[in-house]
Structure 1
Amino acid sequence: MRTRGGGLTTMTSLATGAALALGGCGSTGTGGGTGDTSATALGFKHYAGAVDYPSTTGPHNAGYVAPGEGLRRLAPLGDCALGLGTFANGYRYVNVNWTGTEECTKFSITPNPAPDDATDVPGSMRGGWAGGGLTGDVVVPWDDGSLLAVGAAVTRRAPNGKQSQLATLPLTFNTHPEQETADDATVNTAVRVGARLLIGGGQTIDKAETPYVFASDDAGRTVRRVPLPAVDGLQPTTPVGDFGVNGTEVVAFGAAATNAFDFHSTGTIAVWHSTDSGSHWTSGEIAGTPPGTQVRRVLYASGQWVAVGGYARAGAFYDSLPLVLTSRDGTHWARMDTTAMGDGEITAATVDSSGHPVLVGSAARPKSKPDTRTVWCGAVWLGDATLSRWKRGGLGCSEDPPNAVALLADGRVLIAGNRDLWLS
């Protein structure tokens, strides 16, 4: 990897890992995997139908949630967690929260969705239920028992549930999605580093996208922009996708490689490293990444840095393989041979009570008919102390695969989708 900034010398680029083998949905291949098995064999209990489905039913919506919508994130809260995501109200997607029971075996939408009773309003002018709860693209648990949600602004949810708006990010957010050419900004990640809040994402101005980082040392009441150095003399065109934290050391990854939407060539992915809680950064890039590479999460687990996501196989947008990058120092990265992990893109991750990674993802099942909805086969991967072996468990196949995972206060791991829960 080549590094820039702070007078660091140039490093040689990493070679790409071995080519990955092909496999069917839910397969794990050979080697470090454990073969096809249910997640129950790995210690997870399945609670079918335990999540209130994030959709109304009626003339405008038949109880369907598009991929990427619904329950997106889990924020540990008390003995369980708060779910955050979107609800299909028959006209549009609105913000909602899910509240878990004390046992964390059922998640209910709170407040309850209200029926669309605007009978005197023309259908084209109706908006449906407006949603409710804590809003924000990412949520960070704070040490006083509160939650900080970050979107266009930082919102604090106190331990008693009361919400208050704090700083507003000095960015332009497009509130009219139909205007695709308008300037816009995205918030992709936020973390707590000691007493500091770091926020990362991207902004698009005049069709050009650039990454950003904001920092707050007063729990979100004010924010300031932190400069990110260029990568190899150029400004990356990918937003910051995720932060990883270990003490005062922080790693930030670009969300996608330069070839993320070009499935016929290799590309590079930007990475930044800080040793002082995000005050100053050095930059670098990982070269030779596979076509379609996207990084979803960055963790410090099993004594090393781990960045995970997926990449496209054979130029197929919905046919992905797991991506795992590892580093001992946050600057020199190697791509693992994930043949034994089977199919699927890793979309969520956490670290268990032993410090080992827990990864969640899914793979699209081949369609028997072209005009049917995509069915996704979910999976959980458990890493060991050296990341040399991965145990894979199946999480079933449906239109609503699991897409969120969190470590709870009591050490249990919770996996959630739009319908089901799994609890270790």
Structure 2
Amino acid sequence: MLVPEGGCARGIGTYANGYRDVGANWLGTEVCDRLRLDPAPDAGGIVGAGGTVGDGPPDVANGWRGGGISAQAVAVEPDGALLTADDTGLARYRDGKREQLARSELSTEGFEGQGTRSMVRGLAVTGSGVIVLDAGLSTAARTAPALLLSTDRGRTLRRVDLPIDPDRTILPDGTREVVGVIAAAGDTIVAIGTQLRRATVWRSADGGDTWAVSSIDGLPGNTQMMRLVRAGAHWIALAGVASEGAGRQDTTFVLTSDDARHWAPGDMRGLGEGRIWDATVDAAGDVVMVGVTYDYEHRDGDLPPDPCGVVWTGDGDGPWKRGGLGCGDSPPQAVTTLRDGRVLIAGNRDLWLRPA
């Protein structure tokens, strides 16, 4: 995840410490020409014949345990504070200080308290400060999902069961609908989930007090919702579509709506091949999204093909403009709009910065 902070951005993710992935942060410089791991690994680790060689099993006291802000989802509040959610609940970070908010057990059953299998998948904040958290909640008796809401700036969370879609498909294996993406604009909250070749849309226009449900049919197969944004006059839902067959490229599918109730396939001219990974809305109200294709033409024998970075820009009304970001083992993974209007794209090795 990449969020604006100061004159640049903070990256929130994981770091392979030699034994397992631990939470880690990357902080940007004022000119935003690099992100550095901070805090960096110290001299801790397992001491062997070759010196310190990384981390150890969970029951070993030494070894680098990661650092920085820990989160599975993050939202930037109007005053610049970072609201985060992980398997223990909500927290707020402002000026380097952490404020513990509502606590909740949001780990996958069987992994409670281990911080490794969080159910948290999405976080949004309305214009009036209502916090909306998607933690993958449901019950065996219901096929509709539930969200967690806070109306007191995160001090408490209450469960809200979303209405059941009357046109839903109940699969033989008992698979239940889940939310794929959530977003908020003003006091409107929108959540979308996909199942087979259709999507379910839940919408609240009053900050989560009441909800309406609708459905969208005719989606491509193997569709996964990746991002939902409000850009200009449109709600834009962006989905990745997995290819069917070896050597074929994944694609990106677009849905648009003016009122979050009536949805239709968006303009997909100019998208071409490539699957979206992340998206942001720039200062002009346009969507900037990044994704990948795969270089099957130049693959080395039986090795997997290199991923190639792709960037698209558009406003939801016309064709998308497409650009390439090169091929290699570290494609772009995240994008954000900085406070001064510049757009930053980050991979594990490279940054791309577009002027305001």
TM-score (structure 1 length as normaliser): 0.72
Q: Is 1:192–2:125 an aligned residue pair?
A: yes
Q: Offset of 1:187 from its aligned partner?
A: 1.2
In structure 2, distance between residues paired with 1:375 and 1:209: 39
Structure 1 stretch displaced more, 137-146 or 350-359: 137-146
In structure 2, distance between residues paired with 1:291 and 1:401: 25
Aligned to 2:18: 90
Identity of aligned residues (%): 40
Aligned to 1:380: 311
Residue identity matched to 1:131: G
Residue identity matched to 1:215: L
Aligned to 2:91: 155
Q: Offset of 1:365 from its aligned partner?
A: 2.3
Q: Offset of 1:369 from its aligned partner?
A: 4.1
Do the aligned partners of residues 401 and 210 (structure 1) sit closer, same or farther apart at CA in structure 2, a change above 3 Å counting? farther
- What is the SS of the residue equivalent to 2:183? strand
In structure 1, distance between residues paired with 2:42 and 2:159: 40
In structure 2, distance between residues paired with 1:103 and 1:290: 42
In structure 1, distance between residues paired with 2:145 and 2:152: 23
In structure 1, distance between residues paired with 2:310 and 2:70: 28
Structure 1 stretch displaced more, 215-224 or 84-93: 215-224
Match of residue 299, structure 2, among 365, 368, 374: 368
Do the aligned partners of residues 277 and 356 (structure 1) sit closer, same or farther apart at CA in structure 2, a change above 3 Å counting? same
- What is the SS of the residue equivalent to 2:165? coil
Aligned to 1:215: 149
Q: Is 1:100–2:36 an aligned residue pair?
A: no
Structure 1 stretch displaced more, 215-224 or 344-353: 215-224
Aligned to 2:42: 114
Matches within 5 A, 1:389-404: 389-404=319-334
Residue identity matched to 1:232: P
Residue identity matched to 2:156: T
Aligned to 1:138: 73
Given that 1:348 and 1:403 are in contact with CA atoms closer than 8 Å, whether structure 2 keeps it comes out as: yes
Aligned to 1:8: none
Given that 2:180 and 2:192 are in contact with CA atoms closer than 8 Å, whether structure 1 keeps it comes out as: yes
In structure 1, distance between residues paired with 2:166 and 2:118: 24
Structure 1 residues 175-200: Cα deviation after superposition (integer angstroms, max 9, x where no partner): 749x9xxxx75211111102111111
Given that 1:191 and 1:243 are in contact with CA atoms closer than 8 Å, whether structure 2 keeps it comes out as: yes
Residue identity matched to 1:258: Q
Aligned to 1:421: 351
Do the aligned partners of residues 407 and 124 (structure 1) sit closer, same or farther apart at CA in structure 2, a change above 3 Å counting? closer
Do the aligned partners of residues 246 and 402 (structure 1) sit closer, same or farther apart at CA in structure 2, a change above 3 Å counting? same
Aligned to 2:178: 239
| Structure ranking higher on relative contact order (CA contacts 8 Å, 6+ apart) | 1
Matches within 5 A, 1:224-373: 224-232=158-166, 234=168, 237-254=176-193, 257-259=194-196, 267-315=197-245, 319-336=249-266, 338-366=268-296, 368-369=299-300, 371-373=302-304
Do the aligned partners of residues 115 and 291 (structure 1) sit closer, same or farther apart at CA in structure 2, a change above 3 Å counting? farther
Q: Offset of 1:294 from its aligned partner?
A: 0.7
In structure 1, distance between residues paired with 2:217 and 2:78: 38
Residue identity matched to 2:146: Y
In structure 1, distance between residues paired with 2:291 and 2:218: 23
In structure 1, distance between residues paired with 2:342 and 2:110: 38
Given that 1:243 and 1:251 are in contact with CA atoms closer than 8 Å, whether structure 2 keeps it comes out as: yes
Structure 1 residues 317-373: Cα deviation after superposition (integer angstroms, max 9, x where no partner): 973111111112111111135253111111111111111111111112227346424
- What is the SS of the residue equivalent to 1:325? strand
- What is the SS of the residue equivalent to 2:332? coil
Given that 1:185 and 1:202 are in contact with CA atoms closer than 8 Å, whether structure 2 keeps it comes out as: no
Q: Offset of 1:285 from its aligned partner?
A: 1.7
- What is the SS of the residue equivalent to 1:126? coil
In structure 1, distance between residues paired with 2:311 and 2:131: 29
Do the aligned partners of residues 131 and 238 (structure 1) sit closer, same or farther apart at CA in structure 2, a change above 3 Å counting? farther
In structure 2, distance between residues paired with 1:336 and 1:275: 23
Residue identity matched to 1:192: V
Do the aligned partners of residues 306 and 318 (structure 1) sit closer, same or farther apart at CA in structure 2, a change above 3 Å counting? same
In structure 2, distance between residues paired with 1:213 and 1:115: 42
Q: Offset of 1:126 from its aligned partner?
A: 3.4
Do the aligned partners of residues 244 and 124 (structure 1) sit closer, same or farther apart at CA in structure 2, a change above 3 Å counting? closer
In structure 1, distance between residues paired with 2:3 and 2:110: 25
Residue identity matched to 2:135: G
Given that 2:23 and 2:68 are in contact with CA atoms closer than 8 Å, whether structure 1 keeps it comes out as: yes
Structure 1 residues 119-139: Cα deviation after superposition (integer angstroms, max 9, x where no partner): 279999535421011111111
Do the aligned partners of residues 379 and 198 (structure 1) sit closer, same or farther apart at CA in structure 2, a change above 3 Å counting? same
Do the aligned partners of residues 115 and 270 (structure 1) sit closer, same or farther apart at CA in structure 2, a change above 3 Å counting? farther
Q: Offset of 1:231 from its aligned partner?
A: 1.2
Q: Offset of 1:252 from its aligned partner?
A: 0.9
Cα RMSD after superposing both structures: 2.8
- What is the SS of the residue equivalent to 1:187? coil
Q: How many residues end up aligned between the 2 structures?
A: 335
Instruction: Give structure 1 stretches of 5+ with no counterpart.
Output: 1-72, 260-266
Residue identity matched to 1:273: R
Instruction: Give structure 2 stretches of 5+ with no counterpart.
Output: none
